[in-house]
Chain A
Amino acid sequence: DAGVIQSPRHEVTEMGQEVTLRCKPISGHDYLFWYRQTMMRGLELLIYFNNNVPIDDSGMPEDRFSAKMPNASFSTLKIQPSEPRDSAVYFCASSPDRARSGANVLTFGAGSRLTVL
């Protein structure tokens, strides 16, 4: 398996622009997570899905952020409009169901580094 695939790897945009980050989880994984990593706040869970359904979005910072998972092989995280404080590395991760794997081991993508000017 190619692992969790994220795109783009780097994105530089101007304040006010819309940003869309994409993720392809590992085939057969039931859970998909979006994390944000910054120097100040470390790793924060933004939202996670189970079988394409959003389960917990309490970490989404505000209404400018939205995430979708239209099918088992694709998810997007959208920021509209973007602000400089959104600059961070955004990670997508996926995992199989605990009942099958015995524990919730997450596999992470390489991340999307976002810079908002």
Chain B
Amino acid sequence: GNSVTQMEGPVTLSEEAFLTINCTYTATGYPSLFWYVQYPGEGLQLLLKATKADDKGSNKGFEATYRKETTSFHLEKGSVQVSDSAVYFCALERRDTGRRALTFGSGTRLQVQP
């Protein structure tokens, strides 16, 4: 079946540090890959996506590249801010099967200290 594995948190960084949150997936076929973010007290929201191999998704300074050879979709940001403190979820969707259901990783909590 499909699965997503993320690094365990919490990840604690100082402001302006470089961020990497690892995400690997297991899926047959051609999944689309996503990063969703959940800020404190708010609902999940899409951060970025990539729909085919070698695509790079980017938003708000965050980037992730769809690497089919390593089945990875690591999230990176060059300089984090306190406002980036949130829980980040990696997810995949098997569009090619016709199903519209996201499979999520367990989430990684990021804490950015001033």
Query: Do A and B associate with each other?
Result: no
